[in-house]
Amino acid sequence: METNEIDGFGYCDFHEEPVDEETYEYKGCWGCYHFHEGKDFPYVSVMEASKELGVSESTVRRWVKKGKLKGRLFVQERSCFGSLPPPPKYHIERESVNELKKK
């Protein structure tokens, strides 16, 4: 499934429904391999941000912690179906990366 085929925030094949930002966080779709980003998905991965900015992934995480880049750490407290919860995952705001690239 192509990103530009999905309207809105995204779609989760596992939950078989469109996903908005609240359900993305609550249901843990950020840790799910069934989630497909929509054309309005506002985040890039740490790896994508590091490639675009020409720095290491560690630097991107450090910049988020220092406030140089805007991002969020998604952490799911509950486990799903008796398994361990997915690991925490940073999401970097796409606009923040674009602004930093201009400087």
CA 27 and chain centroid, separation: 14
- Give per-residue pLDDT as tens, 59-91: 999 999 999 999 998 887 666 656 777 788 899
C-alpha dihedral over 60, 61, 63, 68, to 10 degrees?
A: 90
Q: Which domains does the chain have, with CATH numbers?
A: 1-41 (no CATH), 42-103 (1.10.1660.10)
List beta partners, residue 71: 92
Q: What is the value of pTM for the model shown?
A: 0.79
- Give the confidence band of 24 by pLDDT, cuts at 50, 70, 90: confident
Nearest residue to 37 (alpha-carbon basis) of 67, 12, 56? 12
The Cα-based distances of 103 to 7, 97, 98 in angstroms read 31, 10, 9
- Give per-residue pLDDT as tens, 29-53: 887 788 899 999 999 999 999 999 9
Structure-block tokens of residue 56 = 């290491």
What pLDDT sits at residue 98? 95
What pLDDT sits at residue 79? 61
